[in-house]
Amino acid sequence: MKGLLQQYIQQAAQHIDHVVQNDHFVLHEREVGRLIRVSSGVASVQGLPNTKAMELLRFENGVMGIAFNLDPDEIGVVLLGEDTELKAGSRVERSGRVIDVPVGQALLGRVIDALGKPLDNEGSLQTELRWPIEREAKPIIERAPVSTPLQTGIKVIDALIPVGRGQRQLILGDRQTGKTAIAIDTVLNQHDKNMICIYCAIGQRGASVAKLIQQLREQDALKYSIVLVAAGESTPGLLYIAPYAATSIGEWFMEQGHDVLIIYDDLTHHAHAYRELSLLLRRPPGREAYPGDIFYLHSRLLERATHLKKQYGGGSLTALPIIETQAQNLSAYIPTNLISITDGQIYLSPVLFQKGELPAVDVGKSVSRVGGKAQLPSYLDISGPLRLSYSQFEELETFARFGTRLDDATRHNIERGRRVREVLKQDESTPLSVFEQIMILQAVIAGLFDTVPIERVKKAGLQLCSALTDQFVPLQNKIYSGERLTAEEKDQLLNFARSVLNSVMENIHENP
Ligand code: ATP
Ligand code: MG
């Protein structure tokens, strides 16, 4: 009997040895802490001394949080979900990893939240790959200069404040001045340009985001876009991670050699969310109650936009961050920070918006520091002189308002300038191709619009575009391939414009 028992024990011991040696049986070491305090999207945790900065922690109800503040005896955690079911004293576990998002081709055409969960009813994302949301910006050695234009399809921007692929161009203005409209028009204009567009909505009303998604879907632009939404009612933690998550998704496409456009709408809400978190975590407040690292918050985000050299894949990531100004104050804290981080800004003025000069771009206060180098040569020939004469015109016009008596040449310049301004007006969702823009702008510079009554100029410009036929396809291709037009070819275009505008004028005379 005793011998049999010993035999059994021996067999059992051998079996356990076998299981352990063959990894059937693994012991998991887990660190478990306790939740001390929770309120307004942040929590304090004790008992996890080995937690690393920015590590994900898992709470009892499945909600995750980011370890933000590491103090010797307490951790300040930013929650990424609802805190309603969390109780003081409940368990908190370390996850050993940092926060990441799904990346890959499967995201195209989808609407997701800041954690990468689908928000449309189109099933789960078919991708295994996940990238951390915070990644290092590309080193200088891998970066190429900005050399290819990114056409927004909006005349005033493409001509006077051009944007290049890989550039960071800020869009700023008071509320309701058409900031989102410019970004969305740019997305609509990319539909046959091999560009992947990511729209990151931060802290906006659900209704406006839904309208925007609908617009993208109707115009068939969703198929090359990704919409990442951190809506206004999300916890500040989700608002905070949204732009970084969107950038990682964009970087994946960039590293596959694609050109990517990413819109952050808007970073004012992002800065507010970060300020809220910092104050709740009792970090010391500085100017306008923002924490000391508010500049780093946005600089490390926008520094990830770049144009890669050919040998590193050749893709690009263009960033269009949007921010809202208060009462046209460009020198507030966040606007000045972003102006200094980006490669230029498009300023939208509420005054112009009220006058109906749409898009309400204030050319004098807008600038593009690198985009001009990326413009197509034939376009550059037109836009260079246009920029100069337009700014001269704006000065002259202010001067002329004082009732000064003007000589003929000045009056003529003012009349010409007014027509340029009319021609630059453009409705929403009507992006124009480069060729159409060149046609109109060349005609107005050559004075072909001088005889058209000012209130008919905008319409005449559109009529000129719709009269364009296939006869210009070779010229068009020449422009797109980066060649300059010869004087003869320019004349050919001008003659065409002249004949169209003459018939427009005849029409006006017949039905005034
Ligand atoms: P918010 O501060 O609320 O985000 P916003 O600055 O993004 O506003 P939009 O929502 O883009 O502004 O535009 C405000 C309004 O102006 C919208 O009703 C839009 O349709 C209109 N609008 C914008 N651009 C144009 C345009 N070029 N032509 C006609 N209407 C326009
Ligand atoms: Mg907006």
Q: Map out the domains of the chain with their CATH numbers.
A: 32-99 (2.40.30.20), 102-372 (3.40.50.300), 379-510 (1.20.150.20)
Query: Which of 348, 357, 428 to mutate for ligand 1's pocket (most ligand atoms within 8 Å of CB)?
Result: 428
From 209, 326, 358, the mutation candidate for ligand 1 (largest count of ligand atoms within 8 A of CB) is 358
Task: Read off the pTM.
Answer: 0.91
pLDDT in tens, 295-349: 999 999 999 999 999 999 999 999 999 999 999 999 999 999 999 999 999 999 9
**Would you say the CB of residue 358 lies under 6 angstroms from ligand 1?**
yes
Q: How far is the CA of 385 from the centre of ligand 1 (A)?
A: 30
Can you list the residues of the chain whose pLDDT is less than 50? none
Task: Indicate whether residue 17 lines ligand 1 (CB < 6 A).
Answer: no
C-beta of residue 52 within 8 angstroms of C-beta of residue 96: no
Which phi and psi (to 5°) does residue 472 adopt? Answer: -95, 5
Per-position b or e across 253-272, b if 16+ CB within 10 A of its CB: bbbeebbbbbbbbbbbbbbb
CA-CA distances (angstroms) from residue 271 to 174, 238, 324, 445? 16, 13, 11, 43
Ligand nearest to the CA of 185: 1
Cα 179 to ligand 1 centre (Å): 6
What's residue 161's pLDDT? 93
Q: Is 66 helix (H, G, I), strand (E, B) or coil?
A: strand
What is the structure's pLDDT at 232? 85
Greatest pairwise CA separation for the chain in angstroms:
126
DSSP code per residue over 155-182 = HHHHHHS-EETT-B-EEEESTTSSHHHH
Cα dist from 123 to 112, 119, 231, 387, whole Å: 11, 9, 21, 49
Give the closest residue (by CA) to ligand 1 atom 9: 178
The set of residues, in sequence order, having a beta carbon less than 8 Å from that of 241 and lying 6+ positions away, is 66, 80, 99, 114, 115, 133, 230
- Measured from the CB, is residue 354 less than 6 Å from ligand 1? no
pLDDT at 22: 67
Give yes or no for residue 357 CB within 6 A of ligand 1: no
Ligand 1 within 6 A of CB of 176: yes
Residues known to be catalytic? 369
- The pLDDT, as a whole number, for residue 26 is 66
Q: Helix 294-302 and helix 236-255: axis angle, to 10°? A: 20
pLDDT at 24: 61
Phi, psi of 197 (to 5 degrees): -110, 135
Q: Answer whether 359 contacts ligand 1 (Cβ < 6 A).
A: yes
